[in-house]
Amino acid sequence: MPNKGTPKFIPALPGTVVPRLEVDTFFNDTGAALTAGDWVSLDLSSTDYGIGNSIKQAPATANGPVAGVLLGALADQEWGEVLIWGITDIANVATGVTADKLLQMSATAGRAEETGATSEKSIGLVLVTAADNVATVFVGM
């Protein structure tokens, strides 16, 4: 079992433009594979490795709870990395959402869309316009 509770920080080195990231490892106990790039949330129904150590595809609701973006395909009963804070170019975002737009969860589980109102919870910021339901985003609003 991976060392839980110690997220990896990848700091920018002096004189470089490498973005900082915060990545943590979570368990998939959903009974199905999870897709790289999908937005995920904590699976509080799974307590095999302690509460808060498992993830599932984020629900299709505007103010749904979100942990971050899954960085690689994840089979059931496996551990995988989730970007909690930082930039990724594989985020599942509705096609056509343009740069500089805040994101919320959409009516499709695991996919984000442009926030509809200022009262909606923002989960990220689009940096490059989404095409084919993929965008470069900043995660961790």
Q: For residue range 44-101, list pLDDT tens digits in order.
A: 999 888 888 999 999 988 777 799 999 999 999 999 999 999 999 999 999 999 999 9
Residue identified by tokens 């989960």 is 123
Instruction: Please give the CATH number for the structural domain made up of 20-139.
Output: 2.40.300.10
* Global confidence as pTM: 0.85
Distance CA 19, CA 58 (A): 25
